[in-house]
Amino acid sequence: MKIFRTVKEMQAFAGEQKKAGKVIGLVPTMGALHEGHLTLMRAAKAKCDVVIASVFVNPTQFGPNEDYDAYPRRFDEDCQKLESVGVDAVFHPEPSEMYPEGYCTYVNVDGDITHKLCGAQRPIHFRGVATVVTKLMNITRADEAFFGQKDAQQVVVVRRFVSDLNLPVHINMVPIVREESGLARSSRNAYLSPEEKQAALVLSRSLRKAKAAYEGGEKDVETLKSIVTKEIQAEPMASIDYVDLFSFPALKPIQTVDQESLLAIAVRIGKTRLIDNVILG
Ligand SMILES: Nc1ncnc2c1ncn2[C@@H]1O[C@H](COP(=O)(O)OP(=O)(O)OP(=O)(O)O)[C@@H](O)[C@H]1O
Ligand SMILES: CC(C)(CO)[C@@H](O)C(=O)[O-]
Ligand code: BAL
């Protein structure tokens, strides 16, 4: 497995692959890899000739009071995992390589889809994501890119700018990978104490309850949201950032689940902010 730390080296490799007619798959990550990430890598392997994973904790998507400095960084371990699933190349630049002095260009998805859910809580987040993902797609010359449903709003935003900017990349969304307990795998689970990890089960439990109600015939959005809210409020270590339900993928407000819809939550367990979601309909 090749490891590239500079844009120039990464571009040279991607250029050779392109010239040889290979289909290039990109899996962008922030590292501290887990089974969720490896599932994305396997999906990319199954569809592409060459798989490039990026491991980059992107400073521009973190707000000033967020966990950029604390975010887990375990590059050697990550490389072992990536090699074990047959990834061909890893792009691991320094922030100064991606944002050299004088850098001043951003991709701003300026629509309703970025102002709700995580966008309401993290006002610069999606500008940072859209900027870095555009750069990564350009640098790696990706034909296919793979993202997890765990960050469902991110998938909506990426699909939007790829379409708006006519980028020649196809976006694949991979279902959420969970621990046996139901907890969605996340690099931020590493912040949780054993008690907090137990408390964090409330996220997936609350979504399962709402899904069961939906499958039992409950279609009213407020009722479904209140099932989730009540379950989370009963967990003393949890505090809600949002519980919301929108049509999917348009993310429009709805009153009744009469089409494919996204029930999404962000919950703080102690100091750790976790997200989860389920698609209904
Ligand atoms: N449990 C999961 N199932 C499927 N995809 C996942 C899962 N966790 C992360 N991903 C996907 O992996 C990609 C990289 O995500 P990232 O490196 O931020 O990991 P993460 O575990 O989501 O971290 P965080 O703790 O920051 O939320 C994203 O497309 C994300 O949606
Ligand atoms: C897509 C991404 C790697 C961009 O930094 C990040 O937002 C993530 O890990 O989901
Ligand atoms: N997977 C989302 C990256 C972030 O929280 O910044």
Q: What are the pocket residues of ligand 3 if the criterion is a CB atom closer than 6 Å to any ligand atom?
A: 30, 61, 151
Tens digit of pLDDT for each residue in 185-217? 999 999 999 999 999 999 999 999 999 999 999
Same CATH topology for 2-174 and 187-280?
A: no
What pLDDT does 126 receive? 98
Tens digit of pLDDT for each residue in 32-83? 999 999 999 999 999 999 999 999 999 999 999 999 999 999 999 999 999 9
Around Cβ 126, how many Cβ atoms within 10 Å? Answer: 29
| CA nearest ligand 1 atom 14, residue | 29
What pLDDT does 141 receive? 98
Please report, for the chain, the start and end positions of each structural domain, with discontinuous segments joined by +: 2-174, 187-280
Tens digit of pLDDT for each residue in 72-112? 999 999 999 999 999 999 999 999 999 999 999 999 999 99
**Right CATH for 2-174 from 3.30.1360.70, 3.40.50.150, 3.40.50.2300, 3.40.50.620:** 3.40.50.620
The mean pLDDT value for 255-262 works out to: 98
| CA nearest ligand 2 atom 9, residue | 29
ipTM, two decimals, is 0.97
CB within 8 Å of 22: residues ≥ 6 apart: 48, 49, 50
Q: Which of 26, 27, 29 to mutate to test the pocket of ligand 1 (most atoms within 8 A of CB)?
A: 29
Give the closest ligand to the alpha carbon of residue 179: 1
Q: What are the pocket residues of ligand 2 if the criterion is a CB atom closer than 6 Å to any ligand atom?
A: 28-30, 58, 61, 129, 132-133, 151, 154
- The fold of the 187-280 domain, in CATH, is Pantoate--beta-alanine Ligase; Chain: A,domain 2 (3.30.1300)
Rounded Cα distance between 264 and 244, Å, is 6
Give the closest ligand to the alpha carbon of residue 125: 3
Q: Before 175, cis peptide (omega within 30)?
A: no
Confidence of residue 143 (pLDDT cuts 50, 70, 90): very high
Nearest atom within ligand 3 for CA of residue 188: 5
What pLDDT does 29 receive? 98
Q: If you measure from the C-alpha of residue 36 to the centroid of ligand 1, how many angstroms do you get, rounded to a whole number?
A: 6
Q: Does 37 qualify as catalytic in the annotation?
A: yes
What pLDDT does 149 receive? 98
Nearest atom within ligand 1 for CA of residue 71: 26
Give the closest ligand to the alpha carbon of residue 28: 2
Residue ranges for the known binding site for (R)-pantoate are 61, 154
How far is residue 12 from each of residues 114, 136, 141, measured CA to CA in Å? 34, 14, 10
Nearest atom within ligand 2 for CA of residue 61: 5
Percent of the chain with pLDDT over 90: 99
CB contact at 8 A, 215 and 181:
no
What pLDDT does 148 receive? 98
- 35-45 core/surface letters (b: 16 or more CB in 10 A; e: else): ebbbbbbbbbb
| CA nearest ligand 1 atom 2, residue | 36
